[in-house]
Structure formats: structure tokens, C-alpha cells
Structure 1
Amino acid sequence: MAKPPAAGSPAPPFSLPGVTVGPDGSQYGDFSLDRARGNPLVLVFYPGDNTPVCTRQLCSYTTDLDRFRDLGAAVWGVSPQDTGSHESFARQHGLAMPLLADTDRAAARAYGIAVPGLGLRRSVFVLDDRGTVRWRHVALAGLTFQSTDTLAEQVRAVLRTP
């Protein structure tokens, strides 16, 4: 099994289907790291839609989404559920970030966070504008999550790095 990419290493590439729910409806599309280059990206791997900790985590990130946008960063949520589940989850909780469907867990395996028989470890990777991992947090138990203050500080650090 792959290990999570270390800070300073290239982020494993992927292309996943996703959905973004907004006031004008749902927009489905493909999301790839190659097309995300040019700005920092916060990748949030979470175990499941409509679970207590994941719901609190993604609601908190949505509440502070403007902080990331003001820094020029995007935030993507990634989990094993399909886009239909993601759309329902986003609508129910007002989630405004793209939610990507890693149904075969290929991205989770590439990032070294897949747990056979259980899904994936709650993890966050902050990437710079070139797709390099600059910071990561991989939870052991996944009962807590990184705050928006922590993530925003990590994005600011990426912006200060030449």
C-alpha cells in the first residue's frame, strides 16, 4: 500500500467526478489536479456523507469557505460515495465546495489513506499552485478534524513559500 505523500513531493494525480451545489442548482463535472494548478488547493478526504464528524467538518469548512477563497485557494471534499449521495448531502447541509466521488477508492489508495475493509482515513492535504504537497494531516482514528484556522494558516504558509 502507498504511503501518504510527504511535504515537498508531488501530489498523486487523479481525475474524479464531482458535484457542486449552489443557489443556481447542481453542477456536475470532472475534477483533476492538472486543471487545478495555478492556485493552492485543500484536499479534504472524509470517510462518509451524513456521518456526524464528517458533517461537522464539512459544514465548518463551508462556513469559512470565503477565508480560503480570499487566499486564492479552492477546497475539495473527497469520499467514496457517489455523486448522487454527495448532491443530497450538500443540499441537506448547505455545503458549497465541490464533493468528489472516489467510489473505487483509487485516489485514497494513491494518497496512502485507504483502510482495507473500513474505507479511508480522515485526511487533509494542502497543495501549492504547482500540485506539490506542502502540508498534510492524516488522522489515526478520525474522530476529530483540522480547524479552518489551521488550514488557512497552512495555505498562507504556501503563499509565502517561494
Structure 2
Amino acid sequence: MLQVGQPAPDFTLKTTSGAPFRLSDQRGRHVVLYFYPKDDTPGCTAEACSFRDQYEDFKDLGAEVVGVSSDSEASHQKFTQKHRLPFELLADTDGQVRKLYEVPRALLGLLPGRVTFVIDKEGVIQYIFNSLSGATDHVSNAKKVLSGLPA
């Protein structure tokens, strides 16, 4: 897996609206990039809603939240609308970005993993958290790390 202190690999994926999202375009602000298994599953919904409920805190810390799964843009649109998510979800339908970030599979390789990266304003990875079961821990841990970085 990638390591803290390494540059975050650049990528471009489509957002829920179909617009391209390029990580390098986010330079100058922190990014919380979280990979999750699947839209509308219990753990993934809890995680997304926790990011939603604390989204203003992330903005105040100078960070943008971005979720990534292999679900389609249409699935992301439904998930975003249903749960009123204020941040982008990216469609990594072929799993290339998941591979680029070396996100391991979970539960004996049956599920895509749940991994969160905190990337600073210069595009350097400052934190990596890998836990399939601790969905909302991803949110609290990312906030804690961001509070120690200059906004």
C-alpha cells in the first residue's frame, strides 16, 4: 500500500454529474479521499452520512471530501440524492484508481476495501486508515489529522 509522506497519485474520474474530477486540480486545499465498497449498503451509508453530517467541519479545516467506489455514475446520483450528500462521489467502474492507490480487498478478497487517505495541500499523503468495520471511524480520524495541519 502507499505510505504516508508519498505524493498522492494523480487521477481523473467522473463525478455524479458526469464532470471530470482531477486530483491535481485540488492543490491548495486538503483532500479526504475515501474508498468504500458499495453505495447504499449499511456501513457505506453510515460512513457517507457521517461525512455529510460533519462536512462543514471539513470545509472549515480547509478540506474537500471525495468518495470513490466502483459503482456507476447513476448509482452515485441516486445515493447522493437519497442521503443529501454535499460532496462528490467518483465512479471508479474499472477499479483503476483503487489499484493505483493499492487499496486491498477485504473479507477474504470478497469485498472492495474501505480505506481513507488524507492528502495535504501539496498533494502529499498525510494519513492512511484501513478498516472495513470501522466505517464512521474514518470520519473522526480524518478530522483529527486535519486539525493538526495548517488550514
Candidates 63, 66, 90, aligned match of 2:80: 90
How do residues 141-156 of structure 1 correspond to structure 2 at under 5 angstroms?
142-145=132-135, 146-156=137-147
Per-residue CA deviations over 1:132-155 (Å, capped at 9, x if unaligned) read 00000112xx12222533211111
Map of 2:4 onto structure 1: 7
Q: Which amino acid aligns with 1:47?
A: P
Map of 1:66 onto structure 2: 56
Contact 2:116 2:138 in 1 (8 A): no
| 1:159 aligned counterpart, secondary structure | coil
Unaligned runs of 5+ in 1: 20-26
Large movers: runs of 4+ above 3 Å? 116-119
Unaligned runs of 5+ in 2: none
Structural RMSD (CA) = 1.6
Structure 1 Cα separation of the partners of residues 145 and 19 of structure 2: 28
**Alignment size in residue pairs:** 148
Q: CA deviation at 1:114?
A: 4.3
Structure 1 Cα separation of the partners of residues 43 and 74 of structure 2: 20
Contact 1:18 1:100 in 2 (8 A): yes
Q: CA deviation at 1:60?
A: 0.7
Structure 2 Cα separation of the partners of residues 49 and 34 of structure 1: 25
Distance 1:99 1:157, change over 3 A: same
Q: Which amino acid aligns with 2:12?
A: S
| 1:38 aligned counterpart, secondary structure | coil
Map of 1:22 onto structure 2: none
Give TM-score scaled by structure 2 length: 0.91
Map of 2:126 onto structure 1: 134
Structure 2 Cα separation of the partners of residues 35 and 120 of structure 1: 26
Q: Percent identity?
A: 34
Give TM-score scaled by structure 1 length: 0.85
Structure 1 Cα separation of the partners of residues 118 and 11 of structure 2: 15
Structure 2 Cα separation of the partners of residues 147 and 115 of structure 1: 17
Q: Which amino acid aligns with 1:126?
A: V
| 2:90 aligned counterpart, secondary structure | strand
Q: Which amino acid aligns with 1:8?
A: G
Structure 2 Cα separation of the partners of residues 129 and 70 of structure 1: 14
Structure 2 Cα separation of the partners of residues 31 and 114 of structure 1: 23
Per-residue CA deviations over 1:80-139 (Å, capped at 9, x if unaligned) read 001100000111111111000000000101111143963521000000001100000112
Structure 2 Cα separation of the partners of residues 12 and 120 of structure 1: 19
How do residues 94-109 of structure 1 correspond to structure 2 at under 5 angstroms?
94-109=84-99
Map of 2:113 onto structure 1: 121
